[in-house]
Amino acid sequence: MRKALSIALAGTWLLSGCHRHKVAQAPLPPPPPSATAPAQATSVPPAAAGTTAASESGETGLASWYGHPYHGRASASGEIYDMEQMTAAHRTLPFGTMVRVHDLDNEKAVDVRINDRGPFVDGRVIDLSHAAARTIEMIGPGIARVRLEIMSAPAAAEQAHFGVQVGAFRNRENAERLRRAMETKYGRARLVRRADTPGLWHVVVGMEPTQDGASGLADRIRSEDTSVTSTFVVRLDSV
């Protein structure tokens, strides 16, 4: 709901910034009434069963949205993505986290549940479903400046591990070449497949127990490998 080390890698290199497409050109039918949400959240909902209250200010940046061709496909969580449900993709928050997304320009807000991974684009912090994007009126612009507020998180989230994505390839041989180079320099690197990006091999470096640790590794890679132009801290949902 999933959102190069040398010139020799450039041919089929796809930067980590590969992102989901917007909605298909054909006009969308109106969503069923159950998929519609109020344009402005006015109160904090109580934490759902099995979650813990975690209301706090979060990160700020750009929100994007995605619809077709991802509608009906498995998301990174394994859940089938329905673009008319109030869901979103985030790179590091646990699946099931409830997030309030505040549009900093029009002051609208919407609550979404994290069930996918992404967006893998510099400066973007969340990838909203079509329904959620429509609620805060960002369908036309495509992106919006937002602030994220965590409303609740799963009480029993799995042990977190974090890595740094440094590239994504359609050609496995090129991905493997970068993986080997990263492993030589940084000790651990692997190829990751994601349900929300079929056909791509993601190169992920490291496996840190904290997000701060992975951020430090990302800073080191940026300073030492100038040919790697996109690096993202990602949550490793299965290790």
DSSP 12-61: TEE-TT-------SSPPPPPPGGG---SS--SPPPPPTTEEEEEEEEEEE
DSSP 89-110: E-SSSPTT-EEEEEETTT--EE
Same domain flag for 130 and 183: no
Same domain flag for 139 and 57: yes
Same domain flag for 118 and 163: no
pLDDT digits (tens, 9 = 90+) for 201-211: 999 999 999 99
Same domain flag for 175 and 120: no
Same domain flag for 140 and 167: no
Look at residue 29 and tell me if it is in a domain. Answer: no
Same domain flag for 190 and 131: no
Look at residue 81 and tell me if it is in a domain. Answer: yes
pTM for this predicted structure: 0.71
pLDDT digits (tens, 9 = 90+) for 69-100: 889 988 989 899 999 999 999 999 999 999 99
Cβ proximity of 197 and 116 under 8 Å: no
Per the structure, how many domains does the chain have? 2
Q: Is the dihedral of CA 190, 127, 91, 9 positive or negative?
A: positive
Same domain flag for 145 and 206: no
Average pLDDT over residues 191-215: 89
Q: Residue 173 is part of which domain span?
A: 7-16+159-235
